[in-house]
Each structure stands twice: as structure tokens, then as C-alpha cells.
Structure 1
């Protein structure tokens, strides 16, 4: 697996031994002898991960991590701290300092590489999301990591329900999140649930490795659990099982005798990460929506409408079904802006958009494709139905009035509509742009006939 790793350790032997292990696993490795030297290396060449001794010669772990993550582009860089010996208090201190994970010497090579692979996999996914969501997301993610968050849901899952129930009682005293014991059936079937819990704690038992790995595989395959964070608790020193679970997609793993303070910290870290990623995902969805929605009317825009029409035309080929394409344009709209101002014009557009939308079927599409121009697409529609619908839309708009600012009388507006019919058979192929052009020409016919009327293009597109 490729990745740029920065090793930070005062002892040269430690750096060399670790570099050999990581280079053999196809990582690109750089070294630093102190925290200050590491910070300079980070400024020069941004690594994908930092593996540092928890006891540096020139600064403490918390100071080092804080200074690294002060840079917005490094706010979520994975940092693994190495303890000189196994120590529960030391692990908790490192996690409190902000480390993503902690490894004790002597280093178990398989566990180290599995932890690093898991952290890098999560980091690269997060980087892709941040890049897609926008350039200012780094600081926002950092704030989410340390800021206030609403309580989430933690579900405990075990082959032995008694173990999960006992752990729930202990965790409730240290966690502000809702803690439940999840039945295996509920974990693997959505039972109508849209989403799973924020964090799932998968409790293993000695001698149940096959059961746990099977359960983990099924969890990751369950659609409603795809965004849940999973923390495995391997309550013995079963390094192979822990490494296997990490490579299967567990987000974090805790080994050895269950230590409540450490588990609580790991759950808090995963909950913060879940909430932050959820925020990024919502931002991505908002961005996609903004790219497809006209902000004034709330209708789709041209960017969405053209691919929709293209796909509709392809889907109808050879199926013997027709569909209608309409272009509707407000009559004398320039007069509204000139006489009453653009605020009044905007109110008229919103009013007409709402009338047109309410006059269509649920599976019809309406989009604003120009200043006062709307595109309507009606699947599975005959020419007569299209004409009748367009005529009704003209009547609905003409019957309404719009209150405008400034105390002026309510405005009455009308629309003209041009209709083109799309029809593809197995020998033909409909072009979306050609359909819109035909509907546009029919619209000119409506304008020439006095406006507030409908014209249907005589020749179907094929």
C-alpha cells in the first residue's frame, strides 16, 4: 500500500527499524529526530500519516499534535503514537492528547500495518469528501472535532447478549450518548430503519473468531449500516483477529482486557468523526442540490433537465411510447421589470413556477431554463394529453394575480407554450436538444398568434 509516512523519534535505532518495516510494506518513509524537525518536514512535504514516539526530546505529545493540526490542511492527518512499553494509563494519555491510535513496543508488525492501512483508508476517503465539498472544509472539520455535538447512538453487539448488557450498564456512567444492546437480527436487517446507529461496538469472545469475522462482513454489507462507525473489542491478545477485523473495515479496535476509560475515549473519537463526516456528506448533498436547483423558484435548472430528457429519450426507444416536451415563456415579462422593478419580476416568476408545478403530474419534470422560460417534460404522454395540459396551464396562469411591492394593483400575467412530441422506435433516436428547439419554434408560433396560447409542433422528433 502506498503512502507517505513521517517517522518522528529521537532514537535513531527506532527510526531505522520502523523504516525497514514500513518500506517493506511499500510505504514511502521520511524521518525526523525531534518535534521541531518534524514540523519543518511537514511544512516542506505534507505526509499522509505521522508515526511518532510519544516521548519526544523537545515537546510533549499533546503540544506536538496541536501544532501539527493547527494547519487547516493537516487538521485530520492520522497520527499514531508509539509507547516505550504497554501501559493503559499511557494509552489513555495519548488518546486524550489527540492521537488517532497508540502502539506499544515491542511493535507487533502485523497489527501496526493493519492499523495504518485502516487509518490511511479512512483518511483518503475523508480527503476526497473534503475536496468535493469545497476548499474551506478543513477548518470546519477541525472545529467539529472539538466543538459541541448532540448525543448520538451507540449500539453494543455481541454473540453473548449478557456481555453487551453488562457493558451497557458500565458505559452509561461515562457516555452521554444513547447506548443500546442490538440484537443480531436487527443489525443485519433494516426492519424499516433508514439508518443504523452512529457507532457499533462489536464484542468478540475467546474462541469465536469465525463468528465475529462473519458478523463483521455482514455488518459492512448491510445497506443501513454503511455509514455506521464500527469499533471492535477483542478482549484478549488475539492480534491476528484484531488485524483481520481492521483489514475488513473496522474503524477502530481495542485489544486486551476491557479498560473502560480507553474504550470511552475511542468511542468519543469515533462519534466525533461520524458527526463530522455526516456534516461533510450533508454539505456535498447541499452542493449537488444547489448545482441542480434554481435558487429563486426552487425548480430544477437546465443542468439537471437536459440529462433527464436525454435519459428519457433513450429509455423510450423501441418501447412505442411518446413523451411531450414543452417550452413555456411569460408574455411581456420585460414590462413587469420595467414598470414595477425586478423585485416584482421575481415574485411573478415564483408565482408562475408554483402554478405550473402544481398543474403537472408527480412524474413530470419542470425546470427553469432561462430568465422567464420554463421547460416541461411529460413522460408517457400523447399529443392530445400534452395539448390539453398545456392549455390548462395557460388558463391557470391567466386566472391568477400577483401582489407586488409598492402598493401597485395586483398583476395579471399570461404564458405562451410550445409543445414538441418525442417518439423513438427501434430505428430512430431522439435528440434532446432537437426536441427543445422544436418546442421553441412552436413557442414562437404561440407568440405570433397573440400569446397566451398553445402551439404543438406538427412533426414529431425521431
Structure 2
């Protein structure tokens, strides 16, 4: 795994040292000697992660980090602060500015590479989601990138895994005023809880007495249900080799004992904020996928979905030797509804029609809006006789009761004409099936409307 790493430091010797270490691990390194130069590089999307010195003239690293995290276009770029400052208050200040991690000078090579790889791995997952989110924004959906900037990271659900009651009580108390904390002393029970409940973060003590805490972390990473769940570990200074191993297998962050409450709170908020950001991206992608195949007015599948699935359903029917039928439905005199009562009334009619049609077909049937006032129902494992019964049921339900319009203030009569076709022979494809149903619909219109006509092929 490689990545473009931006090294920012006003001292050339420091830049060259980090550049040499990262280049030896096959990272692509670019450099900046000031805060404004770093911001410009990030704005142009030229890096995957930033190693940022704190003490710089003009604009220090804290301010650079704040600006990166306040900008929706650069908010997602991981920032590792590289500093000689080693007091908890300094780390808290950096975390509150939005930093993802810290390295203290002189930088340990193994820690450097492990942290960079860990954060790059996370960013690669988010980048794909971000690209799709940008696309969905262009079609009118909410912008999850802008929402991420305002996320507080508070009121998270946290699972704390620690078998020392004195330790877990202090941590739960320290976090309890900002988050909901569940304490679990048994690692195996913790795994079940993590999988079954909707947590924002798991905190694991590396000092578990009778269980390897890294195995628990690995198990959390291996389950589909918890693969994206952030993990923060609590470690003692002598735990550094295991801590680095943990970061390598997917641990997101850590706090060292004795734990500084403010630093822990800041790191927890960072992880909760990042998880919610990723979830927003995933939800946005899911919604955009649904929008791509769903008619926004009626909630039925749209023409694109119908065309892509009709051929598959016809092919499956051919392979299994089963019948398949298709209905094409057209609301009678729909243009007159729009011209007389307005397009809002027309939309009311379309929604009500879709609801009545959906109630008249089976779960396995594919109901779609083809466009305008025209609809299609694909009926697998169904011959023309059964399809005719269903079509007549739809027709009668539409004609039986008036359609409410203008928020129920008025009601109008609506009827529908329906054409039916059944697949005929092994060479009868999706296009032919649709064409014959459309021809049957035309005959229904010609013969007086408000009727069902079966294709005579």
C-alpha cells in the first residue's frame, strides 16, 4: 500500500529526514515549508495524509489543522502532528484542532510507518464513498461533506472492555457526562455486544488478565457487523510493541496510562466524529443507489430498473421452462386531469394509482413506473390467465373509488387501460414481450378504454 504523504516543516533538515524514512517504505513524499503552502497543496487534492510540524512561524500547525478540518474539501485528509511538545495539554490542543494522531520528536521509525499506514487505510475506504457522495450531491441530495464539519462527536455509545473495576469506573465516570458508556469485563461477551448493538466506539484495555486484547481487536475487525467500528486501546508504557502491532491490525487510536482525562475525551470525540462521517457517506451512497432505481413520485421502481431486470427475469423463465407475463398500464385521459385540475392533482393521481396497483400484485411481481402515466408489472411464474385476473383486479380497484386530489378537498373518477402479453417460445425475448403488451394496450385504448386486453400472439 502506497500513498502521497505531505511533510510540512519550516526546518529543511526535518523535512529531509522524514522524506527519507517514508520514501524507504515506498511512500510518495511531497513537502511544504509553511502553513499556507500546505493548505494550497491540500486544496488541490495532491496528498493523502499530512505530517504537520506544530512550531512554525506565521501560521503554526494548530491553525493549519483547524483550517483543513473546517473545509469540507479537505476535512477528510488525515493529519498527524509531529512535535517536540509532549505534554498532555499540547496533545489535547491538537486533537481539538482536528488532528488524527501525534508523533513526538525524535520520531520512532516503526511508529511513523505504522501510523501512516493505519490512517491511509482508513482514508482509502472513505475516498470511494466521498466520490460517490459528490455524485449524489449533484443530483440534489444532502451534502454529507458539509455535515461532517459540524459534527460534534458527542453523545456517542461506547463499549468499554476492561476487567479492572477501578480502572473502568474511572474511565466511565470521566466520559459519562458526554457519552453513554457500557462496561464489559468479559472479552467474549464484549464481542457479542459489539456485534449486536449500535456502538460508536470500542475501548479495549491492553492489560486484560486472562485474554489477549489484540485477539479481541482482531475479532472485531473480522466480523462484517463490526468491521468499521473504531477501536481505541488503553496501554501502559511497556506495551509499546503490542500497541504497534495493534495499530497494524486495525486499532484506530490509543491513550497511554496514566490516562489524561482531557486527552482521552478529545480522542474519543475524534473517533466518534469520524465514524459518523463514514456512516453519513455510506448512507448517502445507499440513498443515491435507491434514487437511481426508484421513481421519486410513486416509490415504484423506475424504467431503468425495469429494463435491466426484465431481460434477466425472461432469461430465468426460459431456463426453468416457466411462464412469465407482463402488464402495461396507462391511466385514461391523464392529460385532461393535468389540464383541468393542475399538475399537483396529476401527481396526486399518480401516487394513488401506484398505491392501488401495488396492493393488487404479489411480492414477487415487479411493479414499475415506465414514465408519465404509463406503468409496467412483470409477473414471473405466471401465465396469461392468471395475469388477466390480476389486471382485472387492478382495473376494478382503480375504477371503483374516486381519487382524492388537492389534499382530499376534491375527488375525481379515474380509469385505466391494460395490455397483457405472455412469453411465447424459447426465442421470445424481453423486447418482444414488452412490445406485444404495448400493442394490446393500444387496442384497449382504441376499443373504448377502461378495459383489459390480452395480446393475441
Matches within 5 A, 1:177-256: 177-182=179-184, 183-189=186-192, 193=196, 196-205=198-207, 211-255=212-256
Matches within 5 A, 1:287-436: 287-405=288-406, 410-422=411-423, 428=426, 431-436=429-434
Distance in 1, matches of 2:287 and 2:438, equals 32
Match of 1:444 in 2: 442
Is the alpha carbon distance of 1:242 and 1:331 closer, same or farther for their aligned partners in structure 2, counting shifts above 3 Å? same
Match of 2:18 in 1: 18
Answering whether residue 63 of structure 2 is matched by residue 63 of structure 1, we say: yes
Aligned with 2:58: secondary structure? coil
Match of 1:456 in 2: 454
Q: Deviations over 1:367-397 (max 9, x none)?
A: 1111110111222223221111111111111
Q: Could you tell me whether the CA contact under 8 Å between 1:204 and 1:234 is conserved in 2? A: yes
Q: Shift of residue 41 of structure 1?
A: 4.5
Match of 1:33 in 2: 33
Match of 1:122 in 2: 122
Match of 2:51 in 1: 51
Which shows bigger deviation, 437-446 or 247-256? 247-256
Q: Could you tell me whether the CA contact under 8 Å between 2:49 and 2:77 is conserved in 1? A: yes
Is the alpha carbon distance of 1:405 and 1:68 closer, same or farther for their aligned partners in structure 2, counting shifts above 3 Å? closer
Match of 1:100 in 2: 100
Match of 2:159 in 1: 155
Aligned with 1:134: secondary structure? helix
Q: Shift of residue 270 of structure 1?
A: 0.7
Q: Deviations over 1:157-183 (max 9, x none)?
A: 24x36477335433345x411100245
Which shows bigger deviation, 139-148 or 431-440? 139-148
Aligned with 2:320: secondary structure? coil
Q: Which runs of 5+ in 2 are unaligned?
A: none
Q: Which runs of 5+ in 1 are unaligned?
A: none
Is the alpha carbon distance of 1:142 and 1:408 closer, same or farther for their aligned partners in structure 2, counting shifts above 3 Å? closer
Distance in 2, matches of 1:140 and 1:386, equals 44
Q: Shift of residue 154 of structure 1?
A: 0.5
Distance in 2, matches of 1:362 and 1:186, equals 39
Aligned with 1:455: secondary structure? strand
Aligned with 1:420: secondary structure? strand
Question: What RMSD, in angstroms, separates the aligned Cα atoms of the two structures?
Answer: 3.0
Answering whether residue 163 of structure 2 is matched by residue 165 of structure 1, we say: no
Q: Shift of residue 188 of structure 1?
A: 3.5
Q: Could you tell me whether the CA contact under 8 Å between 1:145 and 1:273 is conserved in 2? A: no
Distance in 2, matches of 1:203 and 1:240, equals 15
Distance in 2, matches of 1:7 and 1:406, equals 61
Distance in 1, matches of 2:427 and 2:114, equals 53
Q: Could you tell me whether the CA contact under 8 Å between 2:159 and 2:183 is conserved in 1? A: yes
Q: With the length of structure 2 as denominator, give the TM-score of the two structures.
A: 0.89
Distance in 2, matches of 1:206 and 1:346, equals 62
Is the alpha carbon distance of 1:213 and 1:147 closer, same or farther for their aligned partners in structure 2, counting shifts above 3 Å? closer
Q: Shift of residue 365 of structure 1?
A: 2.0
Paired residue total: 452
Which shows bigger deviation, 135-144 or 357-366? 135-144
Is the alpha carbon distance of 1:184 and 1:418 closer, same or farther for their aligned partners in structure 2, counting shifts above 3 Å? farther
Which shows bigger deviation, 85-94 or 365-374? 85-94
Q: Could you tell me whether the CA contact under 8 Å between 2:133 and 2:143 is conserved in 1? A: no
Is the alpha carbon distance of 1:161 and 1:375 closer, same or farther for their aligned partners in structure 2, counting shifts above 3 Å? farther
Which shows bigger deviation, 45-54 or 135-144? 135-144
Q: Shift of residue 430 of structure 1?
A: 5.8
Distance in 1, matches of 2:431 and 2:113, equals 54
